[in-house]
Amino acid sequence: MSAPAADAQLNDPVLSVDKVSVRFETREGPVVAVDDVSFGVRQGEFLSVIGPSGCGKSTLFNVIGGLLTQHQGTVSVAGETIDGPHKSIGMVFQEESTFPWRTVTDNVAFPLELVGMAKAERVERARHFIKLVGLDGFDNRHPGELSGGMRQRVSLARTLASKPKILLMDEPFAALDEQTRLLLGDKVLQIQQEIQQTTLLITHNITEAVQMSDRILVMTYRPGRVKRIVDIDLPRPRTSEIVSSEAFGRYVAQIWADLREEASRGMREAEDQVLHHQGAES
């Protein structure tokens, strides 16, 4: 009886995560990385999952992306339960992930090549997405000739080229400097508004989350649970300038209050662990 009710509440989510838990066996015994997490992402929505280091965000990313199948609960896309990488979910990784031996065009066309699309067609589609991320003119360059921010845009274009129903990103700007990160954020916002891409962003950056999201899911420190879901009621289209508005500041403060509790608990536990280890050794 609860399932239809939940569905109605979530307004028919494209992606639904239902009671997902993940446990890892470590040398110090089992660790619950993600504990009973449930949420949905609506069509066209930009949802961010934010949490302190060690809250299991990346684990959640791998579960939703289908790269980690050892978990409890279900993840489903448009009603279809996934049990591995799904064609409707496109992943963008935190790490440098372009293929250095391929040109920008061939990088972006990679997923199209895998499904056997004809060369002319895939090159054309790659061109389109290269242009969308603002890299036109760099089509025939190799990633080695580009900056880190440009390479991350190539990764984004590559994932978008596969036309996923849901764009799933794991801290895609974490390795970049602050200015590049803000400008890239603008780019993502613009793309999101242009193609109405349903997006799930995993991040630990509050500014980034508030700037881009319709809703923000705050996670607790280990075990990772849903602490709160915050609606971000800021007007669209947005740009990085919104950062200086008063409403923006309020959201940041609100989320930081939630997050600080978790982050400091994480820090304390990490410290305790170090002390504990030292105690055990002496």
Partner 1 sequence: MADTGRLRSTAVGAPGWVSPVTLLRVVIILTFLAVWEFLSHSGWLYRDVVPSLVRIAAALVDLLTHGEYYFNLGVTAAEIGLALAIGGSLGIVVGIVLGANRFLTKAYEPYLYYLGPTPKIIFFPIIIMWCGVGPESKVALGALSCFFPLALSVAAGMRQIDKVLIRVGKSFRANSWQMVMKIYLPAMRHPLINGVRLGFGFALIGTLLAETKLSNMGIGFLIINAYSTFDMPRMYAMLIVLFVLSIGANALIGRLGGIESIKRR
CB of 251 to partner 1, least distance (A): 31
The least CB distance from residue 172 to partner 1, in Å, is: 12
| C-alpha span between 28 and 223 (Å, rounded) | 15
The residues binding partner 1 (CB under 8 A) are 65-67, 84-85, 87, 89-91, 93, 95-97, 99-102, 110-111, 113-114, 141-145, 162
What minimum distance in Å lies between the beta carbon of 185 and partner 1?
22
Q: Minimal distance in Å, beta carbon 169 to partner 1?
A: 12
Looking at beta carbons, which pairs linking 241-248 to residues 24 or more positions away fall under 8 Å?
A: 242/211, 243/182, 243/207, 243/211, 248/210, 248/211
Q: How far apart are CA 85 and CA 10, in angstroms?
A: 24
- Closest separation in Å from C-beta 80 to partner 1: 14
- CA–CA distance, 80 with 248 (Å, rounded to integer): 36
- Give yes or no for a contact between 171 and 181, defined as CB atoms under 8 angstroms apart: no
Residue whose CB is less far from partner 1, 52 or 65: 65
* 169/184 with CB nearer partner 1: 169
Query: Is the Cβ of residue 164 or residue 223 nearer to partner 1 in the bound state?
Result: 164
Which string of DSSP letters, residue by residue, matches 171-227? STTTTS-HHHHHHHHHHHHHHHHHHT-EEEEEES-HHHHHHH-SEEEEEPSSSB-EE
Nearer to partner 1, 38 or 93 (CB): 93
**Hey, what long-range contacts does 255-260 have (CB within 8 A, 24 or more apart)?**
255/50, 255/206, 255/209, 255/210, 255/216, 255/218, 255/230, 256/206, 258/218, 258/227, 258/228, 259/50, 259/51, 259/52, 259/206, 259/218
User: What minimum distance in Å lies between the beta carbon of 79 and partner 1?
Assistant: 20
How many angstroms separate the CA atoms of 262 and 277, rounded?
22
Nearer to partner 1, 152 or 220 (CB): 152
Nearer to partner 1, 85 or 249 (CB): 85
Which helix (DSSP H) or strand (DSSP E) does residue 159 occupy? helix 148-161
Residue 117: CB minimum distance to partner 1, A: 12
Closest CB to partner 1 among 103 and 203?
103
Whether the bond into 223 is cis, omega within 30 of 0:
yes
